[in-house]
Amino acid sequence: MNANERDEITASVAAHAELGTGYDSAVAEGLVERIGDEIDKRIDARLGGQTRPTANGKPVPPAYRGPVAPTPTMPAAVPPPPPVPRRVGGLSGMVLGLGSMGLGVGATAVVVGHHVESVAALLMVLLIWAAIAVINIAHSQRKL
C-alpha cells in the first residue's frame, strides 16, 4: 500500500470521527471500496495483469467471482403413493359370499346332524366358519 492510499484511509477514519455515528455506513462503504480496489490491484499483480472487465468497467481478476448466494436446498417433496386399487365386490364378490354361506350352512348341518353333543362337532363347525371368513376376507382385500 503506498502513502497516498494510507493517507486516504487515515482521512476516512478522521472523517468518521468528526461526522459521528450518523455517517457510519457511508464511511464504511468508502473504506470497503478502497480496500477492495487495493486487493484487486494485488491480485492483478500476482496474476500477471490478466483481468476481465465487469459491468461497471472496473477490472476484476479472473479468479474473483463475487459473493455467491447459497442455493436453497429444498427437500424434494415426495408425492404420496397412488391409492391401491381394490377389487370392487361386484358379481364375483356376491357369488363368493352367498355361495360360501350356503356351503357353510350345509357343512354345519352335516356335522351337527351326525354328532349333536360332541366337542369335536363344535370345533369342526368353528373351523368351517373360520375358513369361510378367511376366504371371503382374502377375496375382498385382493388387488386388481
Q: Please report the sign of the dihedral spanned by the C-alpha atoms of residue 126, residue 127, residue 129, residue 133.
A: positive
Counting as low any pLDDT under 70, the low residues of the chain are: 1-2, 16, 20, 48-75, 85-89, 115-116, 143-144
pLDDT of residue 63: 55
Q: Alpha-carbon distance 35 to 106, whole Å?
A: 100
pLDDT of residue 9: 73
pLDDT digits (tens, 9 = 90+) for 94-135: 888 889 989 999 988 888 887 667 888 888 889 999 999 998
pLDDT of residue 127: 92
Q: Alpha-carbon distance 24 to 20, whole Å?
A: 7
Domain map of the chain by residue range? Answer: 3-60, 90-141
Q: Alpha-carbon distance 65 to 81, whole Å?
A: 43
